[in-house]
A and B are shown apart, each in its own frame.
Chain A
Amino acid sequence: MLRLIFLLCLVCWPAYAAEEQVVLGLSQDRVSITANFDGSEILIFGAVKREAPIPEGPPLEVIVSVVGPSEPVTVRRKEKRFGIWVNTDSLVVDLAPSFYAVATSAPFNEVLTHTEDLRYKVSIERAIRSVGADMSIQGAQDFAEAVIRIREDEGLYSIRENTVAVDEQTLFRTSIDMPSDLTEGDYTARIFLTRGGMVVSTFETSIDVRKVGLERILYNMSREQPIWYGLMSLAIAIAAGWGASTAFRLLREN
């Protein structure tokens, strides 16, 4: 009994959190989207630094999440009107990350309690926010669920339980697959250390996802100099059309 109280004190004691800290390594802190970009795998590994011996009690668990840049998303629902399926209701989900992957070292509800999830917004459901939803639309909750469902199908959202390997409660590693349809921006990798479902330490670092080379030039040009971009597209098209016509005429004449 005394031991339990002692443990509870430890859990509630803020200084406790600082006793175990993450030292992190990434296989790459920059993902370059090149012309032949076909997805990427990021290896996330690290160690737990502590001054004191490993605390007794529930073992250390690790959660790693990688979050893409958040953007508002319009979700539309189809309904049957006049015999065909038409978009009718729509709702804006204020913030939905373009990419979200969570890896854990044990089943999710064992590594994190519900209240801690609410506080740190770790699970996919918590990461999406739709405050101020239009209550005149029936089933506003369905819209947020649709975002999760569609993006899970596209491989953009995923929860991968038991994919973080933890050795001796000190070393951990996992790899996060990133699909080829990535949006560029600043991605955040978050690491949570938990004991008995409570977060004891967090660590955050950023991963830069950028289009580079030709992709970068073309994208920037299409946004910043749309007129020149359009003219360039036309020039390429006309040159290709002329080239093809001439080449095949020469072939036929020979």
Chain B
Amino acid sequence: MHIYLPIAEVSVNAFLLFGLGGMVGVLSGMFGVGGGFLMTPLLFFIGIPPAVAVATEANQIVASSFSGVLAHFRRKTVDLKMGTVLLIGGLAGAALGVVVFNYLKSLGQVDLLVKLCYVVFLGIIGSLMFIESLNAIRKSRKAGAPPPKRRQRGWIHAMPFKMRFRTSGLYISVIPPVIVGLFVGVLSAIMGVGGGFIMVPAMIYLLGMPTKVVVGTSLFQIIFVTAFTTMLHATTNYTVDVVLAVLLLVGGVVGAQIGTVIGSRMPAEQLRVLLAALVLAVCGKLALDLLLQPSELYSLGNAGGH
């Protein structure tokens, strides 16, 4: 069954989109990630224009994060104060990201920018995760793992504008969270991702937040940043395709619940190795596209707007 997407102006198989949404949903449920970093490249591969893919994916992430954050609110694992500070940085970052995005779009370099961002960040995160989880597996085989060191007191604690974050049990400067939020906001606008895969490690290792509030807080921040990104793309580029978003949502929502069940039955370290391998595979495919000579050297674009 083919569906004509009114904004993307391409006709795609609806079941393919359900399938993609479901597959990424399963993965996001299994690994506790938003899945935007997988879905956006997959949309490129099936022929959705990159600008539409990025903007629509932001809209879809609003839905999946909202669904996720409700569970965290019930468990009271959302640090609203920290979330708000991250959000301030995030909104500024998203605005900046959309400006950069539109500027590069006018230069015809937006595909390159998006793909480069993906290769760099997926490469870094994938390798780190891979090495770390291999080490964890090795350690757990040797003996009971030693308690992880946390909260090193360093330069982060020497910064001014300190604030008390009761839920996280932290007393730190607001500058690092604002910068983390800003950075993730820029990425969200350029890459069409929530940025959870960068924000979660940053919150644990950089800000020293307790692991149990990290996911809920990042989801809280992601909802607002991606909602803002969606609005910016919808009003400046007209590239949000609501039909595409709905099709992806349906598959994604069901897949996420299935994934959660699978995830709870698999050991965490092996799960992380799998996720790392997946991230590296997507990264490798995108890197090959940039490195190998494309079969078609020319590409077409709209001149002077639509």
Contact = CB atoms under 8 A, between A and B. Distances in A.
B297 interface: yes
A223 to B, nearest CB: 6
Contacts of A249: 71
A185 B300 CA distance: 19
A22 B262 CA distance: 68
A150 B71 contact: no
A240 interface: yes
Please tell me the size bucket of the interface on A.
35 or more
A150 to B, nearest CB: 6
A234 B299 contact: no
B281 interface: no
A74 B302 contact: yes
B261 to A, nearest CB: 10
B62 A78 contact: no
B101 to A, nearest CB: 16
Contact of B290 (A39, A77, A84, A149): A84
B121 interface: no
A203 interface: no
A181 interface: yes
Given A85-B294, A240-B249, A222 B62 contact: no
Given A222-B7, A237-B249, A245-B70, A147 B300 contact: yes
A38 B11 contact: yes
A31 to B, nearest CB: 12
Interface in B241-259: 242-243, 245-246, 249-250, 253, 256-257
Interface in A18-57: 33-39
Instruction: Give the one of B60, B63, B298, B300 with max A CB within 10 A.
Output: B298
Contacts of A71: 302-303
Contacts of B64: 241
B242 A236 contact: yes
B230 A230 contact: yes
Contacts of B67: 240-242, 244-245
A85 B296 contact: no
A226 B108 CA distance: 24
Interface string A127-156: 000000000000000110011011101000
B253 A240 contact: yes
B299 A183 contact: no
A72 B301 CA distance: 9
A72 B60 CA distance: 32
A237 B6 contact: no
A206 interface: no
Nearest to B299: A76
A237 B66 contact: yes
A77 B246 contact: no
Interface string A88-121: 0010100000000000000000000000000000
Interface in B188-210: none
A180 interface: yes
Interface stretch (B134-142, B154-162, B232-240): B232-240
B299 A230 contact: no
A73 B68 CA distance: 43
Nearest to A232: B242
Nearest to B119: A84
Interface stretch (A58-66, A162-170, A186-194, A211-219): A211-219
B153 interface: no
A248 interface: yes
Contact of A234 (B10, B70, B230): B230
Interface of A: 33-39, 71-80, 83-87, 90, 92, 142-143, 146-147, 149-151, 153, 180-181, 183, 211, 214-216, 218-219, 222-223, 226-227, 229-234, 236-238, 240-242, 244-246, 248-249
Given A143-B298, A237-B59, 15 more contacts: A35-B3, A36-B1, A80-B293, A84-B116, A86-B112, A150-B298, A180-B4, A181-B9, A183-B9, A226-B234, A226-B235, A233-B240, A244-B253, A245-B67, A248-B257
13 contacts: A34-B4, A38-B2, A72-B304, A76-B301, A78-B294, A85-B291, A150-B296, A214-B6, A218-B243, A234-B227, A240-B249, A241-B62, A246-B70
The 5 closest A-B pairs by CB, nearest first: A230-B234, A241-B66, A146-B298, A180-B11, A241-B67
